[in-house]
Amino acid sequence: MHPGCLEELSSFLQSNELSSLLLITDSGVRGLGWFNDVLPSLGSEVSIVDDIQPNPRASNIDQIASRFRGQNLDAVLAIGGGSVLDAGKAVAMLLRNEGSIEDFEGKNRFPVPSAPFVAVPTTCGTGSEVTWVSVVSVQNKGTKISIKGDGMFPLAAFVDADVIRSLPPSLLASTGMDAMTHAVESMVSRHSNPASDALSTQAVRMLIRHLGPCVRNPGNHEHRAAVMHASTLAGMSFGNSDVGAVHCLSEAIGGLLDHPHGLLNTLLLVPVLRYELDSIREKLKPLSASLGAPRPESFIDRLEVMIRNFPLESWGDLQVDPELYPMIAERAATNGSNPSNLKEMKAVDYLAILKSV
């Protein structure tokens, strides 16, 4: 986890005798100069799939797995943002387990561990490179599902801050705030613990200090590296705890309307924290104090100002029809992470948050 570590990918694969690879990415990443510089070092036994879309599709994942299952691949390598990593993780599991990805929704539903999976994140928000979960969109149902399992953790992750130098400011901001959401929700989760608290606190400190300057000047080495590291720490944090109401809402909206996950989390974070404040106040106090914010309200205000200064779309820009709010609220209440909220959240609560936005 250091700038330039992507240069070590080839030697890692060779030393672990991983030569026959399925490389999963998207068309945007494949067109980048550094990607094409890395590709020759991976050897000649590389099959490339580059049609992964934002909010990865269950149907696409099933097709890829069906195509490559039984080809004796040594590993799956995913190079991309959260959607690419989640897709790669899902495909790696399906290569060793017959069926559709929808068959394995939930925790530890697959009998055989995944094929070896190596992750190279190209955004500063996913955390997927260090978690056991893959979130997939089921388009014909307008929903998202989560597949989790002990056998889905990546074999290795190459977290190289140099790869985000070319990200546009809006994407740096929304993915960085996705990492912030991971860290904060992990901190206020019913399942938070000393390990997750330590990770989330450090991630929040780094993001508060470095994300704004990184968005304004992605060429700055210090800010870029700090934001990338914070993203991975936040992924480790919620992997040891859980996320909560922000993700319950963003996954419901993303599954229904296909809006970007990071942007949804960014726009929903402050409204959710304000709504839940009485229940999470004690959890937020140590984090607020560590940042010099005298009260949890001050910390939330600080997040709001931070988000307001980013070059991002607004909630109105997303054109979420208010007539869909009741459906979104019902789906949020049935999300697998809903029980992790300290405050008992029902559909009526999620509906109130949507109306407040």
Q: Tell whether 173 and 158 lie within a shared domain.
A: no
Dihedral of alpha carbons 50, 54, 58, 59, sign: negative
Express each pLDDT in 271-289 by its tens digit. 999 999 999 999 999 889 8
Q: What CATH number did the domain enclosing 122 receive?
A: 3.40.50.1970
pLDDT at 1: 65
Listed in order, strand segments (DSSP E) in the chain are: 21-24, 46-49, 75-80, 106-107, 117-121, 133-138, 143-148, 156-157
pLDDT of res. 166: 85
Please check whether residues 222 and 348 belong to one and the same domain.
yes
Regarding whether 152 and 198 lie in a shared domain, the answer is no
Distance CA 257, CA 139 (A): 9
**Residue found under tokens 């599902």:** 145
Domain residues for the domain of 329 are 168-356
CA proximity to 228, closest of 196, 200, 209, 206: 206
Choosing from 118, 147, 162, the residue where a domain stops is 162
For 12-34, the pLDDT digits (tens) are 999 999 999 999 999 999 999 99
% pLDDT > 70, the chain: 100
Give the list of residues 6+ apart from residue 143 with CB closer than 8 angstroms, or none: 137, 252, 255, 256, 331
Judge whether 110 and 151 are in contact, CB under 8 Å. yes
Tell me the pLDDT of the chain averaged across its residues.
95
Total number of domains constituting the chain? 2
Residue 42 C-alpha from the chain's centroid: 26
Q: What is the mean pLDDT of residues 29-42?
A: 92
- Do 147 and 87 share a structural domain? yes
Pick from 162, 190, 209: which residue ends a domain? 162
Tell me if the pTM is above 0.75.
yes
Among 133, 162, 191, where does a domain finish?
Answer: 162
200 and 99 share one domain = no
Residue 209: give its domain's CATH number. Answer: 1.20.1090.10
Q: What is the pLDDT of residues 172-196, one digit of tens each?
A: 999 999 999 999 999 999 999 999 9
As a dihedral over the C-alpha atoms of residue 176, residue 178, residue 180, residue 185, rounded to 10 degrees, the angle is -170
Q: Are residues 154 and 175 in the same domain?
A: no
State which H helix or E strand residue 304 sits in. helix 296-308
Q: What is the pLDDT of residues 51-110, one digit of tens each?
A: 999 999 999 999 999 999 989 899 999 999 999 999 999 999 999 999 999 999 999 999
User: If 0-12 CB within 10 Å is exposed, 13-18 middle and 19+ buried, where does residue 276 land?
Assistant: buried
Same domain, 77 and 198: no
Are both 136 and 185 inside the same structural domain? no
Query: Do 74 and 182 fall within a single domain?
Result: no
> Does 185 lie in the same domain as 134?
no
Residue 92, Cβ density class (10 Å: 0-12 exposed, 13-18 middle, ≥19 buried): buried
Q: CA angle, corner 175, sides to 37 and 162, nearest 5? A: 30
Q: Are residues 241 and 210 in the same domain?
A: yes
Same domain, 107 and 236: no
